[in-house]
Amino acid sequence: MSLKKDLTNLLGSNAVFDDEETLRHYSRDQSFVPQCMPDAVAFPESVEQIQAIVAYANQTAVPLVPYSSGLNMHGGTVPKEGGVILNMSRMNRIIEVDQDNWFAVVEPGVTIRQLQNALEEKGLRAMLPLGTPPARSALTSCVERDPALASASFEYGNDLLMDTEIVLPDGELFKTGLWSAGGRPGSHMGPVRSMLYRFWTAAQGTLGILTKACIKVEHLPGMMEIRAFRFNSFNESLAALIDIQRREIGLECFLLNKLNLAALYCDDWHVPEEFPASPVASQDFSTLLDALPCWTLFVCLHGAPELPEEKIAYQAETLDEIAGHHGLNSVPLNGKQELLQHELLRPWGVLKKYNFKGAVHDLSFKAPLKRIPEFQHIIARVAEKYAYPIEEIGGYILPVERGRGAHCEFDFHAGPDGAAGHERIHALWREAGELLVDEGAFFDRPYGDWADMMYSRTGEYTAKLRELKIELDPNNILNPGHLCF
Amino acid sequence: MAAEQKQKVTQKKLAPHVYQALEDVVGKRWISEKRSLVETYSKLSIEGMTFVRKHRKDDTAVPACVVLPGTTGEVQSIVKVCNRYSVPFIPFTNGQVFSATTNDQPTLIIHLSRMNSIINIDTDNMVATLQAYVDYAQLQAEAMKHGLWNGGTPLATTVCKLSSQFSFAGLWQTDLKYGLLNRNLVSVKMVLPDGKILTVGSRCLPKAGDFWEYGPGPDLLGMQRGGAGSNGIVTEITVKLHPWAGDTTLPEVPHGRPSLEDVHEPKYDSPPPPANHRLHWIEFKDFSSQIKTMRDISHSGIAIGLNATGVYSAYYCSQTQEMTWERCKNKFFPDYNCYVIIAGITSAKQIDYEEKVLQKIVERNGGTFLTADHKPEVLEALKPWNLDCIRHTCGFRMNRKMYANAWLPTGPFEVGRQTQEFWSDALNAFGECDITDRGGADDTPFLYALQRGRFSFAEVDNYPDPTNPEEIQKAAGYGIYGMARLVKEKVCPCLMAFLSVEPFTTMFPEVGPNQHTLFQKIRRVFDPKGVNAPGRQVYTREEWENVPPMLKQWVNKMREMVGLESVQ
Averaged pLDDT of chain B: 92
Closest CA–CA distance from residue A172 to any residue of chain B (Å)? 9
Report the CATH number at residue B171: 3.30.465.10
Supply the CATH classification number for the domain A3-87.
3.30.43.10
Same domain, B138 and B102: no
Phi, psi (5° rounding) for residue A18?
A: -145, 25
Residue B202 DSSP symbol = G
In the prediction, which pLDDT does B156 show? 65
Structural domain that includes position B203: 118-243
In the prediction, which pLDDT does B498 show? 60
End-to-end Cα separation, chain B, in angstroms: 27
Test A145 with B214 for CB contact under 8 angstroms: yes
Pairing of strands A161-167, A124-125: unpaired
Ramachandran region of residue B152, left (φ > 0), alpha (ψ -120 to 50) or beta? Answer: left
Test A402 with B347 for CB contact under 8 angstroms: no
In the prediction, which pLDDT does B497 show? 58
Of A257, A263, A274, which Cα lies nearest the Cα of A416? A274
Question: What one-letter code names the amino acid at A395?
Answer: G
Same domain, B95 and B15: yes
A1, pLDDT greater than 70: no
Same domain, B185 and B104: no
In tens, the pLDDT along B292-330 reads 999 999 999 999 999 999 999 999 999 999 999 999 999
Q: Other CB atoms closer than 10 Å to residue A182's CB: what's the count?
A: 18
B6, pLDDT greater than 80: no
Confidence of residue B46 (pLDDT cuts 50, 70, 90): confident
Q: Which residues pair with A289 in a beta bridge?
A: none
In tens, the pLDDT along B271-295 reads 999 999 999 999 999 999 999 999 9
For CATH 3.30.43.10, the residue range(s) in chain A are 3-87
In a domain, B354, yes or no: yes
Top residue of B120, B181, B219, B358 to mutate, by most chain A CBs within 10 Å, is B219
A105, pLDDT greater than 50: yes
In tens, the pLDDT along B217-254 reads 999 999 888 777 889 999 999 999 999 999 999 999 99
Q: Which of B211, B243, B275 is the last residue of a domain?
A: B243
Closest CA–CA distance from residue B356 to any residue of chain A (Å)? 9
In tens, the pLDDT along B165-176 reads 887 777 889 999
- A contact residues 342-371, partner B, Cβ 8 Å cutoff: 366, 368-371
Same domain, B98 and B150: no
In the prediction, which pLDDT does B52 show? 85
In tens, the pLDDT along B80-91 reads 999 999 999 999
In the prediction, which pLDDT does B496 show? 61
In the prediction, which pLDDT does B2 show? 46
Test A189 with B505 for CB contact under 8 angstroms: no
In a domain, B212, yes or no: yes
Cα separation, B461 vs B497, whole angstroms: 9
Closest CA–CA distance from residue B526 to any residue of chain A (Å)? 8
What's the domain count of chain B? 3
Cα separation, B300 vs A262, whole angstroms: 36
Test B217 with A207 for CB contact under 8 angstroms: no
End-to-end Cα separation, chain A, in angstroms: 29
Q: Other CB atoms closer than 10 Å to residue A80's CB: what's the count?
A: 16
CA distances from A214 to A97, A130, A160, A451, B93 (A): 9, 21, 9, 28, 36
Tell me what the mean pLDDT of segment A300-318 comes to.
97
> CA triplet A243, A244, A246: central angle to 5 degrees?
65
Cα separation, A396 vs A408, whole angstroms: 6
Same domain, B199 and B142: yes
ipTM: 0.97
Chain A hits for B347, CB-CB cut-off 8 Å, are 247, 314, 317-318
Test B226 with A196 for CB contact under 8 angstroms: yes
Same domain, B287 and B380: yes
Beta strands, E only, A121-222: 124-125, 161-167, 173-176, 209-216, 218-219
- A contact residues 31-70, partner B, Cβ 8 Å cutoff: none
In the prediction, which pLDDT does B145 show? 98
B190 or A420: whose pLDDT is higher? B190
Of B80, B106, B75, which Cα lies nearest the Cα of B92? B75
Tell me what the mean pLDDT of segment A130-140 comes to.
97
Whether residue B186 contacts residue B462, with contact meaning beta carbons closer than 8 Å, is answered with: no
In tens, the pLDDT along B374-393 reads 999 999 999 999 999 999 88
Q: Which of B111, B140, B173 is the last residue of a domain?
A: B111
> Which among B206, B357, B512 has the least Cβ separation from residue A306?
B357
Same domain, B287 and B347: yes
Helix (H, G, I), strand (E, B) or coil at A28: coil
Query: Omega into B91 within 30° of 0, i.e. cis?
Result: no
Chain A hits for B227, CB-CB cut-off 8 Å, are 194
The three-state (H, E, C) secondary structure of B363-413, written as one string: HHCCCEECCCCCCHHHHHHCCHHHHHCCCCCCHHHHHCCCCCCCEEEEECC
Same domain, B99 and B141: no
Confidence of residue B3 (pLDDT cuts 50, 70, 90): very low
Whether residue B283 contacts residue B334, with contact meaning beta carbons closer than 8 Å, is answered with: yes
Nearest CA in chain A to B175: A155
Helix (H, G, I), strand (E, B) or coil at A215: strand
In the prediction, which pLDDT does B36 show? 92
Helix (H, G, I), strand (E, B) or coil at A423: helix
Of B85, B367, B110, which Cα lies nearest the Cα of B234? B110
Confidence of residue A314 (pLDDT cuts 50, 70, 90): very high
Phi, psi (5° rounding) for residue A104?
A: -130, 140
Test A100 with B524 for CB contact under 8 angstroms: no
Phi, psi (5° rounding) for residue A389?
A: -65, 125
Identify the CATH class of A224-439: alpha beta
Cα separation, B184 vs B166, whole angstroms: 10
Chain B hits for A201, CB-CB cut-off 8 Å, are 214, 218-219
% of chain A exceeding 70 in pLDDT: 100
Q: Does A79 touch chain B (CB under 8 A)?
A: no
In the prediction, which pLDDT does B550 show? 84
In a domain, B64, yes or no: yes
Same domain, B276 and B357: yes
For CATH 3.30.465.10, the residue range(s) in chain A are 94-219
- CA atoms lying within 13 Å on the CB side of residue B186: 28
> CA triplet A418, A424, A429: central angle to 5 degrees?
110
Count Cβ neighbours within 10 Å for each residue of A194-216 and write b for 16 or more, e otherwise.
Answer: bbbbbbbbbbbbbbbbbbbbbbb
In tens, the pLDDT along B464-522 reads 998 998 998 888 888 889 989 999 999 987 766 565 556 778 889 998 899 899 999 99
Whether this prediction's pTM lies above 0.95 is answered by yes
Top residue of B212, B213, B241, B359 to mutate, by most chain A CBs within 10 Å, is B212
Whether residue A207 contacts residue A199, with contact meaning beta carbons closer than 8 Å, is answered with: yes
> CA triplet B221, B226, B229: central angle to 5 degrees?
95
Helix (H, G, I), strand (E, B) or coil at B112: coil
Same domain, B173 and B67: no
Tell me what the mean pLDDT of segment A263-288 comes to.
97
Query: DSSP for A425-450?
Result: HHHHHHHHHHHHHHHT-B-SS--THH
Report the CATH number at residue B362: 3.30.70.3450
Tell me what the mean pLDDT of segment B428-449 comes to.
94
Cα separation, A84 vs A62, whole angstroms: 7
Q: How many contacts does A have with B, using Cβ atoms within 8 A?
A: 301
Pairing of strands A84-87, A40-42: parallel
Q: Other CB atoms closer than 10 Å to residue B276's CB: what's the count?
A: 17
A237, pLDDT greater than 50: yes
In a domain, B182, yes or no: yes
Whether residue B563 contacts residue B557, with contact meaning beta carbons closer than 8 Å, is answered with: no
For domain A94-219, say whether CATH 3.30.750.24 is its number.
no
Same domain, B104 and B165: no
Helix (H, G, I), strand (E, B) or coil at B532: strand
In a domain, B214, yes or no: yes
Phi, psi (5° rounding) for residue A367?
A: -155, 155
Averaged pLDDT of chain A: 96
In the prediction, which pLDDT does B165 show? 87
Same domain, B125 and B104: no
Confidence of residue A362 (pLDDT cuts 50, 70, 90): very high
Cα separation, B540 vs B23, whole angstroms: 31
Of B183, B220, B184, B182, which Cα lies nearest the Cα of B201? B220
Report the CATH number at residue B60: 3.30.43.10
Q: Which of B371, B398, B425 is the last residue of a domain?
A: B398
In a domain, B103, yes or no: yes
In a domain, B136, yes or no: yes
> CA triplet B484, B486, B489: central angle to 5 degrees?
105
